[in-house]
Chain A
Amino acid sequence: MLEGILIGLSAAISPFNLVMVVLGCVIGTLIGMLPGLGPMSIIAIMIPVAIGIGDPTAALILLSGVYYGAIFGGSTSSILLNAPGVAGTVATSFDGYPMARKGQAGKALTIAAIASFAGGTIGAILLMIFAPALSTVALLFHSAEYFALMVVGLSAIAAFAGTGQVAKALMMTILGLMLGTVGEGALSNMPRFTFGLQDLQSGFSFITLAMAMFALPEALFLVMNPARAATGADGDSGKITNMRITREEARSIAPVIGRQSLQGFFIGVLPGAGATIASFLGYAVERNIAKGAEQEEFGKGSIKGLAAPETANNAACTGSFVPLLTLGIPGSGTTAILLGALLALNVTPGPRLMTDTPEVFWAVIISMYLGNLVLLILNLPLIPYIAKILTIPRTFLIPFILFFTLMGSYLGQNNSTELLILVGFGVVATILRFADYPLAPLLIGFILGTMLENNFARAMQLYRGFDFILERPMTLGLLVLALILVVLPSYRGYRARKRAEGVADGD
Chain B
Amino acid sequence: MALDRWIALAFIALCCVYGYAAFFTMDDQLPPILQRNPVWPSTFPKILTVMGLVIGLIVLFTSKPPVDGAPAKDGAIDLSRLGDYHIGQALGLLVLMIVYALTLRPLGFNGSTVAFLVLGAVILGERRFHILIPVAVVAAGSIWYLVQEVLGIFLRPWPGMFM
Chain A residues near B (Cβ < 8 Å)? 48-49, 52, 83, 164, 167-168, 170-171, 174-175, 177-178, 181, 185, 187-188, 190, 192-193, 220-221, 223-228, 393-396, 398-400, 402-403, 406-407, 410-411, 414, 416, 419-420, 422-423, 426-427, 431-437, 453, 456-457, 460-461, 464-465, 497
Candidates A167, A416, A497; contact of B104 at CB < 8 Å: A416
The answer to whether B7 and A457 have CB atoms under 8 Å apart is no
Candidates A164, A178, A435; contact of B7 at CB < 8 Å: A435
Question: Roughly how many angstroms separate A497 CA and B64 CA in the complex, as a whole number?
Answer: 10
Instruction: Considering the complex, give the chain A residue whose CB is closest to the CB of B21.
Output: A193
The answer to whether B87 and A185 have CB atoms under 8 Å apart is no
Chain B residues near A (Cβ < 8 Å)? 2-4, 6-8, 11, 14-15, 18, 21, 26, 29-30, 34, 37-39, 41-45, 48, 51-52, 55-56, 58-59, 62-64, 75, 77, 79, 85-87, 89-90, 93-94, 97-98, 100-102, 104-105, 113, 116-117, 120-121, 124-126, 132, 135, 139, 143, 147, 150-154
The answer to whether B44 and A453 have CB atoms under 8 Å apart is yes
- Give the residues in chain B near A411, CB-CB below 8 Å: 147, 151, 153
- Give the residues in chain B near A228, CB-CB below 8 Å: 75
Question: Roughly how many angstroms separate A71 CA and B8 CA in the complex, as a whole number?
Answer: 33
The answer to whether A460 and B3 have CB atoms under 8 Å apart is no
The answer to whether A398 and B104 have CB atoms under 8 Å apart is no
B132 to chain A minimum Cβ distance, whole angstroms, is 8
The answer to whether A406 and B45 have CB atoms under 8 Å apart is no
- Give the residues in chain A near B62, CB-CB below 8 Å: 167
The answer to whether B139 and A227 have CB atoms under 8 Å apart is no
Question: Roughly how many angstroms separate A349 CA and B153 CA in the complex, as a whole number?
Answer: 26
Candidates B63, B124, B152; contact of A398 at CB < 8 Å: B124
Candidates B41, B59, B90, B113; contact of A167 at CB < 8 Å: B59
The answer to whether B39 and A460 have CB atoms under 8 Å apart is yes
The answer to whether A437 and B7 have CB atoms under 8 Å apart is yes
The answer to whether A464 and B38 have CB atoms under 8 Å apart is yes
| Known contacts A420-B101, A497-B64: A400-B41 contact under CB 8 Å | no
- Give the residues in chain B near A403, CB-CB below 8 Å: 113, 116-117, 120
Candidates A178, A221, A396, A419; contact of B52 at CB < 8 Å: A178
| Known contacts A178-B48, A398-B120: A432-B7 contact under CB 8 Å | yes
| Known contacts A190-B41, A411-B153, A423-B94: A224-B117 contact under CB 8 Å | no
The answer to whether B52 and A434 have CB atoms under 8 Å apart is no
Candidates B41, B117, B132; contact of A188 at CB < 8 Å: B41
Kindly list the 6 A-B residue pairs having the minimum CB-CB distance in the complex, ordered from nearest: A399-B120, A419-B101, A52-B151, A395-B126, A224-B85, A435-B4
| Known contacts A220-B90, A399-B117, A414-B153: A185-B124 contact under CB 8 Å | no
Question: Roughly how many angstroms separate A419 CA and B39 CA in the complex, as a whole number?
Answer: 35
The answer to whether B100 and A406 have CB atoms under 8 Å apart is yes
Instruction: Considering the complex, give the chain A residue whose CB is closest to the CB of B92.
Output: A223
Question: Roughly how many angstroms separate A497 CA and B63 CA in the complex, as a whole number?
Answer: 11
The answer to whether A402 and B41 have CB atoms under 8 Å apart is no
The answer to whether B98 and A395 have CB atoms under 8 Å apart is no
Question: Roughly how many angstroms separate A100 CA and B107 CA in the complex, as a whole number?
Answer: 49
The answer to whether A224 and B52 have CB atoms under 8 Å apart is no
The answer to whether B97 and A171 have CB atoms under 8 Å apart is no
| Known contacts A435-B4, A437-B4, A461-B37: A396-B87 contact under CB 8 Å | no
Instruction: Considering the complex, give the chain B residue whose CB is closest to the CB of A52.
Output: B151
The answer to whether A226 and B153 have CB atoms under 8 Å apart is no
The answer to whether B86 and A181 have CB atoms under 8 Å apart is no
Instruction: Considering the complex, give the chain A residue whose CB is closest to the CB of B11.
Output: A171
Instruction: Considering the complex, give the chain A residue whose CB is closest to the CB of B132.
Output: A396
The answer to whether B44 and A181 have CB atoms under 8 Å apart is yes
The answer to whether B104 and A419 have CB atoms under 8 Å apart is yes
B61 to chain A minimum Cβ distance, whole angstroms, is 10
- Give the residues in chain B near A431, CB-CB below 8 Å: 3, 7
B69 to chain A minimum Cβ distance, whole angstroms, is 15
A496 to chain B minimum Cβ distance, whole angstroms, is 12
The answer to whether B38 and A461 have CB atoms under 8 Å apart is yes
Can you add 12 more A-B contacts, CB < 8 Å, to A52-B150, A411-B153, A461-B38?
A52-B153, A167-B58, A178-B15, A220-B90, A220-B93, A224-B86, A400-B139, A403-B113, A406-B97, A419-B101, A420-B101, A460-B38
- Give the residues in chain A near B64, CB-CB below 8 Å: 164, 497
| Known contacts A225-B85, A434-B77: A460-B11 contact under CB 8 Å | no
B32 to chain A minimum Cβ distance, whole angstroms, is 13
- Give the residues in chain A near B58, CB-CB below 8 Å: 167
The answer to whether A167 and B63 have CB atoms under 8 Å apart is yes
The answer to whether B124 and A420 have CB atoms under 8 Å apart is no
Instruction: Considering the complex, give the chain A residue whose CB is closest to the CB of B12.
Output: A171
- Give the residues in chain B near A178, CB-CB below 8 Å: 14-15, 18, 45, 48, 52
The answer to whether A400 and B117 have CB atoms under 8 Å apart is yes
| Known contacts A52-B152, A220-B90, A220-B93: A192-B43 contact under CB 8 Å | no
The answer to whether B55 and A174 have CB atoms under 8 Å apart is yes
- Give the residues in chain A near B34, CB-CB below 8 Å: 188
- Give the residues in chain B near A398, CB-CB below 8 Å: 93, 120, 124
A48 to chain B minimum Cβ distance, whole angstroms, is 8
- Give the residues in chain B near A423, CB-CB below 8 Å: 94, 97-98, 101
B5 to chain A minimum Cβ distance, whole angstroms, is 9
Question: Roughly how many angstroms separate A393 CA and B63 CA in the complex, as a whole number?
Answer: 39
The answer to whether B121 and A223 have CB atoms under 8 Å apart is no
The answer to whether A167 and B139 have CB atoms under 8 Å apart is no
Candidates A164, A190, A395; contact of B121 at CB < 8 Å: A395
A-B CB contact pairs (8 Å), 28 listed: A52-B151, A52-B153, A164-B63, A167-B58, A167-B59, A167-B63, A174-B51, A178-B52, A185-B41, A190-B41, A192-B42, A192-B45, A193-B18, A223-B89, A224-B89, A225-B75, A228-B75, A402-B116, A403-B117, A406-B100, A410-B104, A411-B151, A419-B104, A423-B97, A433-B77, A435-B79, A461-B37, A464-B38
